[in-house]
Chains A and B, each alone.
Chain A
Amino acid sequence: MGLARYVVLRVVWAAVVSLVIVTATFVLMAAAPNPAIQEAATQAALEGGDPQQAVERERELRGLDEPLHVRYLDFLTSIYTLEWGWSDHRSQPVTEALVEGLYYTAQYSIPWTVLTVLIGPLVGVYSAANMYSWRDHAATAFAFFGYAIPNFFFGIVLLLLFGVWLDWIPVVYRTDVAVFSLENARQLALPVFVLVTGSIGAVMRVSRNESAEFRDATFMKTAKAKGVSPFRAYAYHVMRPTLVPLSTTLVSQLLAIFLGSSLLVEVVFGIPGLGRLTFEALVAQDTNLVLGATFVFTFVAVIGNLLEDIAFSVLDPRISYDDR
């Protein structure tokens, strides 16, 4: 079957992409001066020792005296075996720190992704079905508002309004509440809302415009002539072809928000997730942790693009798998 072969090829390609990224990272790291070595030299000079000797000792200690290809293979092995080193700033292994961050990031990322995927296309197709009605105009206004307003700013405004003035939701994020609890839902409501607002706009617009095209297609007349009800016609004959171009927008929007805005939103709402972890690691110049977090984001992007391509091929029966 062509599809299975295509998926396998696409997965292999994704693996190659990840290898390229890891290699590029290694090259950059090898070319850049290592702050730990500088520090050792400074330390030795301050203590009256020989800076040159200290540098050599430090290089030996960190394995930097090995030939480049050996260091590259070591680097590859450790990356792909998930041995991503020690985080000086968090005093724990990098992977452990990342898993902790992911735990909090997932708690709001999963809800907003699910909400965007469910609500966006539905509202978009509804808008197309009722084009230029006040509901359509309201949806359009909401879409552009969410698209235009910076997420972190919107988050601050909402926090001020609902957290400080109205006092409906807690201002300080608490990590000691259960994941599936009302308290957790309350403290995550705003970040989820902010991110849904940011991501759903493009999804709504694309679903609306794509389905507007299919709404007037001849096959909709065929459906009507067959006796298909308007609801069924939209649910099957419009929604299904709309999903093909929409899958692209959906994945890219979710990725863009996940990789960019979630960092800012975590800082605004004080969620100790991946975004804030990265931010703090940057400030503390914790190279290993920054590297690890970057890898996580990169791999998410690679996997997202992989899923997007596969979804596109599965959804559009006209795509041939053989000539790509």
Chain B
Amino acid sequence: MTDEPLLRVEDLTTTFETDAGRLVAVDGIDFSVEAGETVCLVGESGSGKTVATESITRLIKEPPGHIEGTVRFEGRDLADCAEPELREIRGADVAHVFQNPQDALNHCYTVGWQIAEAIRIHEDVGRSEARARAIELLGRVGIATPGARIDDYPHQFSGGEKQRVMIAMALSTNPDLLVADEPTTALDVTVQAQILRLLDELKTEYGMGVLFITHDLGVVSEIADRIVVLYAGKVMERGSAADVFERPSHPYTRQLLGCLPGIGPPSAGGIPGTLPDPTDPPEGCRFAPRCEHAVEACFEGGQPEAVERSPGHRVSCIHYHDGYDESVLGEPPTRLGLADPKAEEDTRTGGDADDG
């Protein structure tokens, strides 16, 4: 029991019934999050990152959604939990911060009301106590004069402040796992860095596990302890941040890294091609149709068995299987611009621009 991680997702498959047929958004993926660590789910839009995290506490609407697999959280299998039990867990133990703070707050209620709602749903506290805690939380996430802002409506806050409010709301019940779904994508670059730093501080302060979704590898390099690379609902590669950044092994991971400025050829204009049709995924490796190293075997059977390159660093690519030569993949891209992520963060956040 003690070596059980905070969250362990096994063979998670989430499908949606659509008019075009059965859409497989997440196809049998595994990942885990330990207390106090940040796990990044990485992949381009449509790769199933959001669906995967929203399947944990079943935020997905069922039907049309359908979730299968095991989701072990603090020793319980959430897949077996009834809706009322899940409701106890949502917010209280697993909190979410969403991509677009603009839409994630209800425009008709004050931020104080919305934070207090989160508190009062899970704890038997009075109005004034919930309010006092909401003010405290607003202060903690860096809202100046929280006592004066508590009765303001969301539209009176800037984008960055709204995301701070969302984070305050997520923290209000002291969750064990924070799911942050592209929390900085909708924000200015300067504000992004502030929010990332805030999340990092809070992770340590609250001892939470953080499941962080992003397609921004620059963000990943700054915060991730471990990385899971998703493509078309399948895990391509996983490992520690060092493994994935120093020894990116899957062609997809390498091409993603190649898209970062400062890495790979300057002419890199993204990865050619588009994601496969999720209602009709291709045979073999999901990435094969876009992979420049694909051989005939890549288009047969299912996703290749993951190969463990070093402890915890697993790659799902046929070229690492016995009988194949991984050298055809060439050399991984070098980390030119990301030699010292911390140093870069300091320059990015140095100005600490006012986002109010």
Contact = CB atoms under 8 A, between A and B. Distances in A.
Contacts of B166: 222
A244 B92 contact: no
Interface string A94-123: 000000000000000000000000000000
B149 interface: no
A218 interface: yes
B117 A217 contact: no
21 contacts: A217-B103, A218-B103, A218-B104, A219-B104, A219-B106, A222-B96, A222-B104, A222-B105, A222-B166, A222-B169, A225-B59, A225-B98, A226-B90, A226-B169, A228-B87, A228-B91, A236-B117, A237-B106, A317-B107, A318-B107, A318-B155
A227 B87 CA distance: 5
B117 A228 contact: yes
B88 interface: yes
Nearest to B84: A229
A226 B108 contact: no
Interface string B79-112: 0000000011111100110101001111111100
The 4 lowest CB-CB distance pairs between A and B, nearest first, are A227-B91, A218-B103, A225-B96, A226-B91
Contacts of A316: 108
A217 B104 CA distance: 8
Given A218-B103, A241-B107, A244-B108, A317 B88 contact: no
A5 interface: no
Interface string A186-203: 000000000000000000
A224 interface: yes
A221 interface: yes
B153 interface: yes
B271 interface: no
B118 interface: yes
Interface string A232-250: 0000110011001000000
B57 interface: yes
Contact of A241 (B90, B92, B106, B118): B106
Interface in B169-189: 169
B348 interface: no
Interface of B: 54, 57, 59, 87-92, 95-96, 98, 100, 103-110, 117-118, 121-122, 153, 155, 166, 169
Interface residues of A, number: 21
A224 B86 CA distance: 10
Interface in A275-324: 315-318
B119 to A, nearest CB: 9
Contacts of A221: 54, 59, 96, 98, 104
A227 B122 contact: yes
A292 B44 CA distance: 70
A240 B109 contact: yes
A213 to B, nearest CB: 12
A315 B122 CA distance: 28
Contacts of B109: 236, 240
Given A218-B98, A219-B104, A244-B108, A226 B153 contact: no
Interface of A: 217-219, 221-229, 236-237, 240-241, 244, 315-318
B320 to A, nearest CB: 38
A181 to B, nearest CB: 42
B108 A227 contact: no
A241 B155 CA distance: 14
Nearest to A244: B108
A224 B90 contact: yes
Given A219-B103, A227-B90, A240 B98 contact: no
A225 B57 contact: yes
A219 B169 CA distance: 12
A189 to B, nearest CB: 37
Nearest to A320: B155
A226 to B, nearest CB: 4
Contact of B108 (A218, A225, A229, A317): A317
Given A225-B90, A225-B96, A228-B121, 9 more contacts: A221-B96, A222-B106, A224-B59, A225-B57, A225-B91, A228-B91, A317-B107, A317-B108, A317-B153
Contacts of A222: 96, 98, 104-106, 166, 169
B121 A226 contact: yes
A107 B176 CA distance: 59
A225 B59 CA distance: 7
Contacts of A237: 106
Contacts of B91: 225-228
B81 to A, nearest CB: 13
Contacts of A241: 106-108
B96 A227 contact: no
Contacts of B118: 226-227
B57 to A, nearest CB: 7
Nearest to A240: B108
